Amino acid sequence: MKNIALYKAMLQYFSGDPRRCQHLIKVASLAREIALLENLDEQTVALVEAAGLVHDCGIKIGEAKYGAGKCTGKIQEQEGPAAAQKILAELGYDAAAAERICYLVGHHHTYNNIDGLDYQILVEADFLVNFYEDELSKNAIAHAVEKIFRTDSGKLLAQAMFGLK
């Protein structure tokens, strides 16, 4: 139930920015589906969905500080955890879950040293959405999937969505 409130809070957070709203909805949905396809427990499924909802909250702060189009992935990682923590605390998220979600927000553009399946799933879900939104070539997608994807479910989704072999 908390993720429903978080969903609404994030739509309000990015109100008037349909691109960001659609992005967070897609990433959260794909993160949830990958977690379900990987047969993860209900608590982990909810955690990766919540991480998908808040993963880019640092963009708003980064763009306010540095200008539109100048908010890099590293800036998102720096600015996002504090914003996510505030939202999660206001909605009454468990401290341990909020801490892990904020960790994921603070690392979702860092692809080495992925330290858990929740982290891997968030990265894969974000990549799946970015592949489409950024109109990457099939070759670029195949290369990224080969280098970064580790879950069978994420690979399956990439193959199906983008016609990879």
Task: Read off the pLDDT of residues 74-126 as tens digits, 9 standing for 90 and up.
Answer: 889 899 999 999 999 999 999 999 999 999 999 999 999 999 999 999 999 99
- The mean per-residue pLDDT over the stretch 23-42 comes to 98
Sign of the C-alpha dihedral computed for residues 73, 125, 5 and 107 taken in this order: negative
Q: How far apart are CA 109 and CA 118, in angstroms?
A: 14
Q: How far apart are CA 34 and CA 26, in angstroms?
A: 12
Q: What is the residue extent of each domain of the chain? A: 2-162
> CATH 1.10.579.10: does it fit domain 2-162?
no
Helices and strands in the chain: count of H runs, count of E runs: 9, 0
- The mean per-residue pLDDT over the stretch 29-41 comes to 98
Q: How far apart are CA 1 and CA 42, in angstroms?
A: 12
The band of 1, judged by pLDDT with boundaries at 50, 70 and 90, is low
Q: What is the pLDDT of residue 157?
A: 98
